[in-house]
Chains A and B, each alone.
Chain A
């Protein structure tokens, strides 16, 4: 093990760090973390970069003026990142990703989440009318169905 420790120390890189804005959560979204971008791209393509509804430092973490995300942006970020799972669980009448969304929309306890999931399943084809429905449209339709 000693040999490996020496090897490790000798060749290790030091990672630089930015501490601007509201803290170090910013660095995830500042373009340096390729993996995070890959995940976001893999899960949110199509809505990524959209002016009204992208995952950006403003929606997922830190705002440019140094404060943290507001609640309504949180809903949008969550929906964009988990769109496919949410859509599937709506058809299935429940699930963890759908519960995470209903909690953000105010359904905090188990009974409210169950009712939310039942209503989403019943109205699946209204909330997701066709295969082109994206996260923005889904959230709008969902809000209409749930009268939020």
Chain B
């Protein structure tokens, strides 16, 4: 077939040309019809594997594919008709070769080809296999012997990233017995955010205004991005796939590159795309169908971990900052002070000599960690910085001893954290009498909840709705509707100086006016920034103080709006592993109307991973209330 193709292009004699035109398509057409009939008889277009490869989901009484590019389909109505697409693909596979490295359907859709070939037992004499040099080169460069799912936890001080991120690493066949995973390739589907601002990131993520892109790149570049530049810890989960399953995944990844998928933060995000890729390898696992798992990457990982036998092993890969702080923790106070001065390029090398060689090595390693973190990872540095760094490294090299491996204790594993959606029911007593409450929260985690499996002292709440009924109103009203409520309290560290901040917006009750109920609702916005500090008397404690700005709009307010400023201070304690206490005092004065004076004490008791009891005392002058609530995460 390939010779015929070349002959046609070279324009051989007219007789031969017309003979070929007449004969080849007719024979191909017959075989295509025969295969299509067999496919229909077998009902292949309705099989899970086919629907997965085409990214079809139910749409009304029919089907619709999530793929948006027309290059993904050969049939005119392929986006909506799995049967028509299957038959068009069969005809395509029979086409003579065409110029261009990816033009032939067999080469564009290697996973579809492999699956249909297996199901219909193609006759190689009538449906010859085309050479696909471009795909083969790509596949050989990937050299995948398996698949590892990588989960990136949140950025330091950026709770907007608490959803996490997932991508795939492909362990290579040619890796030896040594350490060599940095040279593996990764497959990544991600929004391309153009903002570093946590608030903007979260808000723009909701409306999906980031474009989504696929990329293949070496793992070391992902490591640079996540563990160095963004200070995110990674978890690696080796998946139990056979070589054939890994090959199928790679073939399908190639197909997905021929189209594009819009990036929807809340459903068709990186997690969804990777699950559908895994579905190509494991069609019966039907990972892409679990709705909740496709929304939030952390839930995706939990869903995959919940499948028996799918995950062969897990590894923790601490970020640069985590490693730096773990190494520093091994230093004595004197050594730490020395490492700090060396890391700030102060001349203190002379003081090292008094220490044993192993301690000198540890101090120098720690100082080099700090110096590089302090100046940033760009290689564009002042000569003075480079000279300072070189002085440390030369001194370190001359010691002639290797650094002991830095085994960082992994934090509680992701799967120990509660699920991300929540419903709650509660009751309590306010100044006006008893009340009952139900609540629902879209996502994700708040400061009062014990934070195993989450970034400590980070909060990202979206769509948190609490409806209340009391004796006065007799009708349910919105006690609170937080569209977004973000907080990041980062303990101050001289090596990692980070401010703490929070921001929230949504519907609230203007209790300063001594009211409650529907007429008391107003719209509130709040931002704050300050500092946090941690100690470890009772395990761990965090103290924080934030300066805050606040605005409100609503008929209850004097002049229907208000603007104010003030401060909050609080403490978060974990007396026991399952019990967290948060206590916070707030004062905000407004240009007019009553000030906000609030003292709140909240307790969370973790009864099981996804069940939690809350006991809250809330004094918001002149109102006060006490409440119990049961939270169920799902």
Contacts and interface: CB of A to CB of B under 8 A. Distances in A.
Contacts of B368: 88, 91
Given A124-B393, A131-B386, A15 B218 contact: no
Contacts of B207: 7-8, 10-12
A138 to B, nearest CB: 12
Contacts of B193: 35
B400 to A, nearest CB: 7
Given A22-B138, A33-B192, A125 B397 contact: yes
Contacts, number: 248
B263 A15 contact: yes
Given A11-B208, A78-B183, A100-B180, A92 B403 contact: yes
A91 B211 contact: no
Interface in A1-22: 1, 3-5, 7-17, 19, 21-22
A8 B260 contact: no
B254 interface: yes
Interface in B446-485: 462-463
A109 interface: yes
B262 A13 contact: yes
A31 interface: no
A121 B400 contact: yes
B214 A93 contact: no
A66 interface: yes
Nearest to B205: A8
Nearest to A6: B266
Interface stretch (B221-229, B507-515, B531-539, B586-594): B221-229
Interface string A23-67: 111011000111110011111111100000000000011000011
A87 B217 contact: no
A94 B403 contact: yes
Contacts of B265: 8, 12
Contact of B214 (A24, A44, A96, A113): A24
B212 to A, nearest CB: 5
B313 interface: no
Contacts of A93: 397, 400-403
Interface in A100-148: 100, 102-104, 107-110, 112-113, 117-118, 121-122, 124-125, 128, 130-132
A15 B224 contact: no
Q: Among the interface residues A17, A42, A74, A124, which one has the most CB atoms of the partner chain B within 10 A? A: A17
B394 A125 contact: yes
B217 A61 contact: yes
A82 B68 CA distance: 37
Contacts of A78: 182-183, 218, 220
B178 A107 contact: yes
Contacts of A8: 206-208, 264-267
Contact of A43 (B259, B379, B421): B379
Given A28-B215, A99-B179, A19 B220 contact: no
Contacts of B181: 100
Contacts of B377: 42-43, 84
B141 interface: yes
Q: Among the interface residues B68, B211, B215, B254, which one has the most CB atoms of the partner chain A within 10 A? A: B215
B625 interface: no
A43 B378 CA distance: 5
B176 interface: yes
Given A66-B134, A94-B403, A125-B397, A34 B224 contact: no
A16 B178 contact: no
Contact of B463 (A4, A46, A91, A130): A4
B397 A109 contact: no
B183 A104 contact: yes
A1 B397 contact: no
A67 B372 contact: no
A15 B175 contact: no
A19 B108 CA distance: 10
Nearest to B211: A15
Interface in B227-263: 229, 254, 257-263
Given A1-B266, A88-B393, A124-B397, A13 B403 contact: no
A97 B283 CA distance: 37
B5 interface: no
Nearest to A62: B138
Nearest to B140: A68
B260 to A, nearest CB: 4
B179 A131 contact: no
Contact of A81 (B206, B211, B220, B257): B220
26 contacts: A1-B442, A3-B463, A4-B442, A10-B207, A11-B208, A12-B207, A12-B264, A17-B259, A28-B215, A45-B380, A66-B101, A66-B137, A69-B141, A78-B183, A81-B224, A82-B182, A88-B372, A94-B402, A97-B220, A99-B178, A103-B180, A109-B176, A113-B178, A121-B402, A124-B397, A128-B390
Given A66-B101, A91-B368, 13 more contacts: A1-B295, A4-B206, A12-B208, A12-B264, A16-B260, A17-B258, A17-B259, A28-B216, A36-B217, A45-B379, A100-B182, A125-B397, A131-B386
